[in-house]
Structure 1
C-alpha cells in the first residue's frame, strides 16, 4: 500500500554496486529501513544527496505489514539544508544527533511528537542563530522527555547517574546551567566554560546509557570533541 509521510534521514549503508539501504525516521510510520536502487550509479549525484543525515524528505512509500526492507516510490526535499552539509561543526552535531536517535529507538518505533521535535532541531541547527556549543546538551535534555526518562528538575540529571565527575563548586554551576537550558531551550543565553560543558555532555551521555539497552560507545562524541578543541 502506498502512503505519504515526511521522513528524516538517519543513516545509510552501501548495498551491492549501486544501491543503498537507508534508515529514515518517518512521522506516520515510524523508523523504517528502505532499499533504494541505483542512487550510486554514474549520473545519480542528485539522488544520493537526498539521503544525507538529517535531510527532511517528503515521501511516498510502499508500506508492507510484514516488515523488513521497504521501498520508496517517490522522494523529494521538504527543505534543503543550507549550512549543515558545509559546516564541519554542524555536520559533527548532525552525526551526533543521528547516533543518539538510532540508539534510542527501534525499527517501526513511531512517535509523532518526537519526530516533530527532531524536525525542529534540524531546522534550528541549520540556522545562523544556532548556538552550537550548547546544542548537543539541549538536544539530550529535551529528547529524554519524549522517551519518558527525563527528570522534572535539573538536579535529577545530575543525581540519577553512576558518574559524578563534578567538584562541589562545579555541581552548583552545572545545576544552574542545566536549569537555564531546561527553561530556555535553544534560546538560552547563559554561558559556562568549555571544560564544564564537556563534563556535562559526558555526564548526560552516561545518564542516557543507564536508560537505554546496550547503547555501546558513543562514536560521534570524539568528533564533537575534535570540532570544539
Structure 2
C-alpha cells in the first residue's frame, strides 16, 4: 500500500556503487532507512543536491513490511531552504545537527511534535540573517524536553550541585564531590542557565571561546549519559573551529 510521507534527512551513506542508504526521520513513522539510487549523471546529481543533511522532503512510498530497507523512488522537496546550503557556517551547523539527530533518534517510533520542532528549527536557521554562534546550543537545550531529560531548573539555588545522571539540582554534598557525573558551583549554575536558553534569547548568552566549548561538550555529555553514543560526533571539532 502506498503511503505519502514527509521526512527530514538525517544521514546519507554510500551502500555500493549504485545505491546510497538515506536515513529519514519521518513525521508519521519515525526513523526509517531507504535505499536510494546514487547515480552520476544529470538526474543523479540533481537527486544528490536535494538529499542534503536536514533537507525536508515528501514522497509516496510503497512500504514492504518484510524489507529491512525501503526503496526511495521519486520525491519532492517539502520545504525549500533558501540559503542553508549556500552559507558555509549554516551548512556546517546543519551538518552538526543532522549528525546529532542521527545518533539520538535510534528508535523508530514517530513523534509529530518533535518532527515539527526540528522542521521549525531548521526553518529558523535558514532565515536568520546572522548571529548563529549559539544556535546549536539553543537547539540542544530546546530539544531536552522532547528527549525526556529536561532538568527542573526552578529547583536550582545558588551553591546547588547538578547530578547529570538523575537530571536534578540539589544542595551540594561532600560525599559526591568527586563524582564525575556531578557538576558543582559555576558548572551547576551554567547548567541551570542553559535550561532556560532558547532561540528567542540565545543572543543574550555571552560566552568566551573556552566557555562555549565547555557548554557544548557539557550538553553532549549529558545527552550521552541518557542516550549512549549521542555525543560522539565527528562534526564537533569543526563546530569548535568555526565559532572559535
Q: TM-score, normalised by structure 1?
A: 0.86
Shift of 1:15: 2.7
1 CA distance for matches of 2:36 and 2:92?
25
1:13-68 deviation per Cα after TM superposition (whole angstroms, max 9, x unaligned): 1232232110011101111111112x422112111112110000011112222341
Q: Which runs of no fewer than 5 residues in structure 2 stay unpaired?
A: 165-179
In structure 2, the residue matched to 1:221 is 236
1:161-195 deviation per Cα after TM superposition (whole angstroms, max 9, x unaligned): 345677x45654x25742541xxx20114131223
Structure label with greater radius of gyration: 2
Is the alpha carbon distance of 1:220 and 1:55 closer, same or farther for their aligned partners in structure 2, counting shifts above 3 Å?
A: same
In structure 2, the residue matched to 1:212 is 227
- Asked if 2 retains the 8 angstrom alpha-carbon contact of 1:30 and 1:109, the reply is yes
Is the alpha carbon distance of 1:146 and 1:23 closer, same or farther for their aligned partners in structure 2, counting shifts above 3 Å?
A: same
In structure 2, the residue matched to 1:42 is 41
In structure 1, the residue matched to 2:211 is 196
Shift of 1:225: 0.7
In structure 2, the residue matched to 1:151 is 151
Greater helix content: 1
In structure 2, the residue matched to 1:178 is 194
Shift of 1:90: 1.1
- Asked if 2 retains the 8 angstrom alpha-carbon contact of 1:163 and 1:206, the reply is no
Helix, strand or coil at the partner of 1:13:
strand
Number of residue pairs matched by the alignment: 222
Q: TM-score, normalised by structure 2?
A: 0.81
Q: Which runs of no fewer than 5 residues in structure 1 stay unpaired?
A: none
Cα RMSD (Å): 2.4
